[in-house]
Amino acid sequence: MSRFILKFLWLEKAIAVSLDQVVGFRNTPITQYFFWPRSDAWEEMKFDLEKRSWISQNDSILILNQITEVINFWQERNEVTRKTDLSVAKERFTNCLFVGRD
C-alpha cells in the first residue's frame, strides 16, 4: 500500500476517510472524503476502488483492512480520553495521515 495513503478527518461525532496516491514526493487525491457513521464509508470506498481498475485487488484489500482498523479504533474511544485518541491513532497508524484536534 506504499503507493497510497489514507487520510482521516478525526471528528467528535464522525470520522472521514479519503485516499491519495503517492507520486514522488507529492500526494494526489484519488477519492473524496467518505464519512462514517453518516454513511458506510467502508462500502463507499470499496465501490470507488472497484471503479479504478489500475488499483490492484491486493492494494484494495490492504486499504479496506486499514480503514476497518482505524474506524474500529475510533469507535472504541473512551469519552474521557477523546482528546488523546488522535495522538494515539497517529502513533498506532503511522502509514495514515490524520487531521483533527489533539
pLDDT value of position 100: 86
Per-residue model confidence as pLDDT tens for the chain (102 residues): 569 999 999 988 889 999 999 988 899 999 999 999 889 999 999 999 999 999 999 999 999 999 999 999 988 875 555 555 788 899 999 999 999 876
User: What's the pTM?
Assistant: 0.88
Cα(3)–Cα(45) distance, rounded to whole angstroms?
Answer: 17
Cα(70)–Cα(8) distance, rounded to whole angstroms?
Answer: 9
Domain count, the chain: 1
> What is the distance of C-alpha 30 from the center of its chain?
13
CATH of the domain at 92: 3.30.390.140
pLDDT value of position 94: 94
pLDDT value of position 76: 82
pLDDT value of position 42: 95
Domain containing residue 93: 4-100
